[in-house]
Amino acid sequence: MTDSPNQPAAVDERIKERSPLREALIRPELGGIMGTAIVFVLFLLFASDSGMFNSQGILNWSQVSAQFMIIAVGACLLMIAGEFDLSVGSMIGFCGMMIAIFSVTMGWPVWLAIIVTFALCIAIGALNGFIVIRTGLPSFIVTLAFLFILRGFTIYLPQTLERKTIIGGVKDAAEGDWLAAIFGGKILTGLFQWMGDAGIIATFERGSNIGKPVVDGLPMLIVWAIVLIIFGHILLTRTKFGNWIFASGGDAEAARNSGVPVNRVKILMFMFTAFCACVFATCQVMEFGSAGADRGLLKEFEAIIAVVIGGALLTGGYGSVIGAALGALIFGVVQQGLFFAGVESSLFRVFLGVILLFAVILNTYIRRIITGER
């Protein structure tokens, strides 16, 4: 006999219903959301009177956070794909130095120097990925080697060409350059002037700048961070390629058997990580008007920490660009907040260690929930 039309459909016993609490716990952004809320509450209590949350203070920690966000987006996608890139910090220094050498030492137009440098660094990122794929070596080892190679060239080249490790004059060379403005300019200046005139944000009360807003525009560094976060989030959550990234990091062999081009995905993620490092470096060079051989030190570890705080698993296959952005926001707020609160800045490293340990413990617990491990 067939079932009656009015009879309720049988429930497959193999399907387990998830409670709303469990659904919330396995969200990769959970740690980043909790950390962000705690950090903001603490600094609202202890540093609200120091100017941390006026227009200038917000700009300060927003710019620092944006720096972390730019490299965290690339590191996040690569980690979800199951790989690491420890050469990010050295790539930042190398990229900035090559832009300075091409534009100042060799006299190239800045736009050409930027394009050639991006192409060179992205090619190095592809080489990283190619070596990892072809040799089967851990990406930790391969990119550690490139950390030293790139840092060595970053020191050797300016010493050989200029007899120094800092090359200035980039800002003068970039004057009026169309591509330099995309990395070192500001937008919405009219809006900020209107807010200053309306008394919404502070303005200068003395000197030649009287009446001008203290914050006169949105730096392109922040714009780039927002654009990359949106791009990374959409790529990861709304496209087939995003599913490939998760599959490549979750179980590469099963992904290959399902038709996922795992090798191509991983190489492209190494290239995207190099691209993000170049964006960071170019914005930094345009801001300071110079390139230094020590730029980007330890940034690779800070990017990874931001991603882990944001909920990504070190084993790959799980994570969130939004979570990584929140981890980077925590970095920027704490780094500047300690200054505003009058706390010794060296404690920032202590904070990093504590929050990293907390994030790893939380992420391990989440992984056990997902996999059903005990």
Rounded Cα gap, residues 190 and 202, in angstroms: 15
Residues 6+ apart with CB under 8 A from 338: 344, 345, 347, 348, 351
Residues 6+ apart with CB under 8 A from 49: none
Q: What is the pLDDT of residue 331?
A: 85
Q: What is the pLDDT of residue 285?
A: 96
pLDDT of 1 > 50? The answer is no
Q: What is the pLDDT of residue 46?
A: 81
Q: What is the pLDDT of residue 209?
A: 75
Residues 6+ apart with CB under 8 A from 112: 102
What are the distances in angstroms from CA 174 to CA 67, 130, 187, 328?
A: 21, 34, 17, 29
CATH number of 28-41+50-174+221-371: 1.10.3470
What are the distances in angstroms from CA 8 to CA 5, 11, 52, 300?
A: 8, 9, 59, 56
User: Beta strands of 50-180 (E only): which ranges?
Assistant: 166-168
Rounded Cα gap, residues 194 and 189, in angstroms: 9
- Minimum mean pLDDT range among 147-156, 186-195, 266-275: 186-195
* CA geometry: angle 117, 120, 124, nearest 5 deg: 135
Rounded Cα gap, residues 149 and 71, in angstroms: 20
Residue 128's φ and ψ, nearest 5 degrees, are -55, -50
Amino acid at 178: W
Confidence of residue 15 (pLDDT cuts 50, 70, 90): very low
104-135 confidence digits (pLDDT tens): 999 999 999 999 999 999 999 999 999 999 99
More confident residue, 120 or 17: 120
Q: What is the pLDDT of residue 14?
A: 45
What are the distances in angstroms from CA 163 to CA 58, 166, 280, 371?
A: 39, 9, 26, 56
**Boundaries of every domain in the chain:** 28-41+50-174+221-371
- Region 214-236 average pLDDT: 94
132-181 confidence digits (pLDDT tens): 999 999 999 999 999 999 999 999 999 999 999 999 999 999 998 999 99
Residue 323's φ and ψ, nearest 5 degrees, are -60, -45
**pTM beyond 0.75, yes or no:** yes
342-362 confidence digits (pLDDT tens): 777 777 778 778 877 877 777
Average pLDDT, rounded, for the chain: 87
More confident residue, 130 or 26: 130
- Beta-sheet pairing, 186-187 with 218-219: antiparallel
Closest CA to 33 of 369, 370, 365, 362: 362
What are the distances in angstroms from CA 192 to CA 121, 137, 219?
A: 36, 51, 12
Give the DSSP H or E segment for 223. helix 220-238
Rounded Cα gap, residues 323 and 84, in angstroms: 17
Amino acid at 363: N
Closest CA to 157 of 89, 92, 101, 106: 101
CB 148 within 8 A of CB 86: no
- Minimum mean pLDDT range among 19-33, 81-95, 137-151: 19-33
User: Beta strands of 153-192 (E only): which ranges?
Assistant: 166-168, 186-187
